[in-house]
Structure 1
């Protein structure tokens, strides 16, 4: 995908969020669970009060909500949402649940959103997910070309029920894929054959399967929040290597799987280590045929064919590693309307991160990869991109530095690609002994 001249980039955010204010989900729930929902709202209020006692920076929360009060309504108001995204230069979006990541004030019922887990009775988990999916389908219908809605499907609550909800949600207009819980405990892990009907229906319908950062082993942390921030990505990334090594992508070659809002900086080291083990490097020579009996390709090859990273607020260090990660595997996102994302200052963030990245690679990571992964109608979005999209000049990619200069800067790294595969080292060699 080559970016011509100074035409605006077509920007698709692969990580946005939407959700009703908690109490408003009641009408979207089946009547038989509304009493339980009322009780859950009381419990959630208590949890929010406890979170304010050390876990949450209440000063920040108050300031954030005051400064962005109007824009935050875009978490559930379609007209306001389009206005905010357009002002941010975003013309297409992939929508995950839970619009409020500060106080959890706009989250799917019964904790069925980003924090889905086995601590909720399965019937309530499914009921909450279904209610959110019903509402999200209506939100997406107000701007269907721009919005790829993600259906929340807590597959640990029941495979048959989940397959039925996947089909129902897809038929209702949620074509962005499904979100599953990153943590399956105490149920069977995702390499278990019981989940094959999930992978089969998603392959059939062309729906990517996602995990998203949020859940972790929080019961172990006590008041030590830093532990959570250090390993939350591990728990969200874990299903990736379970599916690769167990042969899920061998059995379902059309299955697509994404890890969202966990950054991308860890991917190259993971692929490097998995490939070396697959090839039976010195440390793996003792392992028997069972190691690779379910695979016909290297882990990195499955990753390139089947997987992607919804990297969200992409950082400079990730740009430096992009050839090892794979330029085609990185999908940028602004994380609207969460404060840890780039909204409402995306233009400044993009200029900082992409100022010296070649046009074609910028176009791919900012929108082209997402357009291909989710099958957005690019022609329908192009007029919006021409009106609102950032240009190479605005990202600092024009001026004193030419495209030739930019490409020359990265030429060695691009040629090396994945050094463990190409054999090309990108670091200085030690001087020969005298």
Structure 2
């Protein structure tokens, strides 16, 4: 059968184990994020702190042939029917935990240099967002501007911030200004910046999986209600891997709060929250039928599919089965929007050869 080709708004690169050891002075490299295999868990070290993160069996399951090698990865994509990918970090996610200004600045710079040298310079279908310091906003702005000059199209940010550093606060305004000026999409990936295990009782596996999605909703509510997106109407944000069916729903909820509690609302916005969301907020998903349904049912069109390659939650090995299940009996324009159109609205990858057109 002819493949349904799609672009992925949520994928990942797996960095080499010695990325920071090979690119930073020893005094900094020893404090950069690194992982070791413990007896049962992956052990994560960041600037002298240790975390027992996830079961080794889980880590071992995330190994498609091209997980660490760009050549086989492109073969995997051709096999699966994925054309372009926005590929977030893996170990690079953990730089957001660093509070030391110098270490944070140099760790993200080294990650971006590696991604530029080994990903962006060697292919044009897999693109990575840049990392920026979460320890200092001035450093974050400088690195965003450097990354834009190198050709990065997006910036990764965590969904959870440190206390008193929430995204609605004015401290982030220079970063929003720089991103809008550079045309850089802000990619907030769920499960980043905070503890992903908050409950160990009955149903914990599913409860904790759900808990990773809620901070993505919080990002949207802060950036919309706090006025950042209203002040920067050309700024686009993506909540990656958290589903999309919830987006128009929280738009309705925020509209209600904005109207019914208007005497308390500060700042006043030039548009309703739902209008800002429809114009500037994007979301990606892997398996959610509701994410497809909301496009036609609500008119919220900023939805894009993602393969989450090479992670266990992703679709590697059954991508075509997943896409056919999602888009059976779905109008062609909706399928095209979700599989390719939304991605192409935000990111530039080479045009796909005509013979690879979707069914």
Same fold (TM over 0.5): yes
Find the counterpart in structure 2 of residue 76 from structure 1: 68
Displacement after TM superposition at 1:147 (Å): 2.7
Q: Which has the higher strand share?
A: 2
Kindly indicate whether the alpha-carbon contact (under 8 Å) linking 1:117 and 1:181 is maintained by their aligned counterparts in 2.
Answer: no
Find the counterpart in structure 2 of residue 102 from structure 1: none
Find the counterpart in structure 2 of residue 420 from structure 1: none
Find the counterpart in structure 1 of residue 302 from structure 2: 329
- 1:228 matched to 2:226? The reply is no
Find the counterpart in structure 2 of residue 108 from structure 1: 92
Displacement after TM superposition at 1:48 (Å): 7.9
185-194 or 81-90, which moves further after superposition? 185-194
Displacement after TM superposition at 1:238 (Å): 1.1
Task: Write out aligned runs for 1:139-154 (5 A).
Answer: 139-144=119-124, 146-154=125-133
- 1:167 matched to 2:145? The reply is yes
* Separation of aligned partners in 1, 2:284 and 2:25: 32
Find the counterpart in structure 2 of residue 386 from structure 1: 355
Displacement after TM superposition at 1:239 (Å): 1.4
- 1:45 matched to 2:36? The reply is yes
Kindly indicate whether the alpha-carbon contact (under 8 Å) linking 1:216 and 1:231 is maintained by their aligned counterparts in 2.
Answer: no
- 1:133 matched to 2:102? The reply is no
* Separation of aligned partners in 1, 2:334 and 2:178: 32
Could you say if the C-alpha distance between residues 159 and 365 of structure 1 is closer, same or farther in structure 2, counting changes exceeding 3 Å? same
Aligned match for 1:363, one of 336, 341, 346: 336
Displacement after TM superposition at 1:10 (Å): 5.0
Find the counterpart in structure 2 of residue 405 from structure 1: none
Displacement after TM superposition at 1:365 (Å): 0.5
Aligned match for 1:372, one of 345, 349, 355: 345
SS at match of 1:92: strand
Q: Please, what is the CA RMSD of the aligned residues?
A: 2.8
Find the counterpart in structure 2 of residue 252 from structure 1: 232
Displacement after TM superposition at 1:164 (Å): 0.9
SS at match of 2:275: helix
* Separation of aligned partners in 2, 1:220 and 1:24: 27
- Unpaired segments ≥5 residues, structure 1: 1-5, 99-106, 393-434
* Separation of aligned partners in 2, 1:360 and 1:219: 36
Question: Per-residue displacement from partner, 1:237-273 (whole Å, max 9, x unpaired)?
Answer: 2111101011112211111111100111322321221
Kindly indicate whether the alpha-carbon contact (under 8 Å) linking 2:327 and 2:335 is maintained by their aligned counterparts in 1.
Answer: yes
Displacement after TM superposition at 1:14 (Å): 0.8
Could you say if the C-alpha distance between residues 291 and 327 of structure 1 is closer, same or farther in structure 2, counting changes exceeding 3 Å? closer
Find the counterpart in structure 2 of residue 197 from structure 1: 174
- Unpaired segments ≥5 residues, structure 2: 44-51
Kindly indicate whether the alpha-carbon contact (under 8 Å) linking 1:15 and 1:334 is maintained by their aligned counterparts in 2.
Answer: yes
Structure 1 length as normaliser, TM-score? 0.73
Aligned match for 1:299, one of 273, 278, 282: 273
Structure 2 length as normaliser, TM-score? 0.87
